[in-house]
Each structure stands twice: as structure tokens, then as C-alpha cells.
Amino acid sequence: MSSYQVINEVSLREKAVAFTFDDGPNPIYTPQVLEIFQEVQGKATFFMIGTQIEKSLETAKAVHEQGHEIGNHTYSHPHLPELSSEEVRREMQLTEELIQQVTGAKPKVYRPPYIDTSEEVAAITAGEFGYPAIGAVNGAATDWEMPGVAHIVEKTRDQIRPGSILLFHDGFDDRSQTVEAVRILAVELTAAGYRLVTVSELLALSAAEA
């Protein structure tokens, strides 16, 4: 196991998965996602970009107030391995401070933009900030390319098992396909007896079973 391993899923016996949403908050699509999770009584993790928090602070607050997790997704969404150490620190620190303003607490998890990291980046993000790097199992769903609701649903279904971390986007571009796909999946999974939990809850469940 490399020191900069990205966590795509965890070992878990309980039927629980973590839905995650990148690149928000977005005043149009994030509230629609919140509505879905309210209906199925689930929780999710939103990996927010600092510049987007600044633009949509009230939306970020609504995510927190409804009991969801906010993770660090950097300030400006760069390829972290291409930055200097100081630039990486700044990307992480600025967004950490913004999230603390919203939630009152330091975020527990982060997702590298483009799931792109390195030993040098991990020395800062994990070593200095204490963040596990979170990936996902359903990259083939490519929801960011708007490939159609059926594609997003099918490619995600293929990867669902206890401990799966699922990646979607609520920020940038038209995310209506993602919203509809998530609506279908959230209802299906809940009906199948799955709990929809935050990434931090999923990690804790796995550690408790170990």
C-alpha cells in the first residue's frame, strides 16, 4: 500500500454506501440533491470547491444544516501534483477555513481534483492536514460528461456493494442527468436495505467491524 493510496471503497459487512458530490455547492442542483436525500432519509458527502463556497455560501450552509458532510475539494480545482508545495498548502488551507466557517469544524476528508495525487501531495494533504484521500468505484459512470441518465445509473449499479463510495457532481454545467440518476439509485438502494451514509461514517463503520 502506497502512502498516497486513494480510498475507493472499504471492507464492510453492513449494507451501507456513501454517495459523494463534487464541485459544488451549486444554487440550482445542490438543493435538488438535498431534497432526494431528505426523501430517503439518507446522508451524503459534498466535496466542495472553495471558490464555489464563496459564491454560494447559503447553499453550503443548507448542506451542513441538513446533516450532510462537507469535504475539502481544494480552492480552485487544480491538478495538485503540478503545483508547488506552498500552492498545495494554500489550496487546502483556504478551503479548510471556508468549511470551518460553515460547519464550525475542520473537515475530515478530501478528494483530490481529478483523483490526481502523488507522494509529495500526500505528504501535505495526509501528513500535514490529516486528510484521507477519497476516490470512488463508479468512475465509469462519467456523470460529468452528461452521458445520459441510463448510463450513469447502469455504470453505478455495476459497482454497488457494501462499502462502495460513489462519485457524482452537483457543480458546474447542467447536472440534471446526475440528479435524476441519483434519485433512481437512492430510492433503489434504500428499498434494497442499504443505508446511505457520509464518507466519514462509512470509514468508521469499517473500522468498527475490523
pLDDT score at 1: 37
Q: Helix or strand or coil: residue 119?
A: helix
Planar angle of CA 77, 81, 87, nearest 5 degrees: 65
DSSP assignment, residue 4? T
Q: What is the pLDDT of residue 110?
A: 98
CA angle 161/132/96 to nearest 5° reads: 120
Residue range 57-74: average pLDDT? 98
What's the pLDDT band for 205 if we cut at 50, 70, 90? very high
Asked if 48 and 74 count as a contact pair (C-beta separation under 8 A), the reply is no
pLDDT in tens, 9-43: 999 999 999 999 999 999 999 999 999 999 999 99
Three-state SS for 29?
helix
CA-to-CA distance for 91 and 78, rounded, in angstroms? 9
Q: Report pLDDT for 118.
A: 95
Sign of CA dihedral 173, 105, 136, 118: positive
State CA 202 to chain mean position distance. 12
210: pLDDT confidence band, cut at 50, 70 and 90?
A: confident
pTM here? Answer: 0.97
The 8-class DSSP code of residue 160 comes to: -
Contact 100, 61 (CB under 8 A): no
Q: What is the DSSP string of 41-102?
A: T---EEEE-HHHHHH-HHHHHHHHHTT-EEEE--SS---GGGS-HHHHHHHHHHHHHHHHHH
Provide the pLDDT confidence category of residue 3 given band limits of 50, 70 and 90: low
On the question of pLDDT at 149 being above 70, the answer is yes
Least confident of 1-15, 115-129, 182-196: 1-15
* Catalytic sites, residue numbers: 22, 169
Handedness of CA 114, 119, 122, 128 (dihedral sign): negative
pLDDT band at 74 (very low <50, low <70, confident <90, very high): very high
- With cell 483523483, the residue in question is 115
Q: Which pLDDT tens digit goes with each residue over 80-132?
A: 999 999 999 999 999 999 999 999 999 999 999 999 999 999 999 999 999 99
- Give the SS3 label for residue 126: coil
Look over the chain and give the mean of its residue pLDDT values, rounded to a whole number: 97
CA distance linking residue 138 with residue 159, whole number of Å: 6
Peptide bond into 132 cis (omega under 30): no
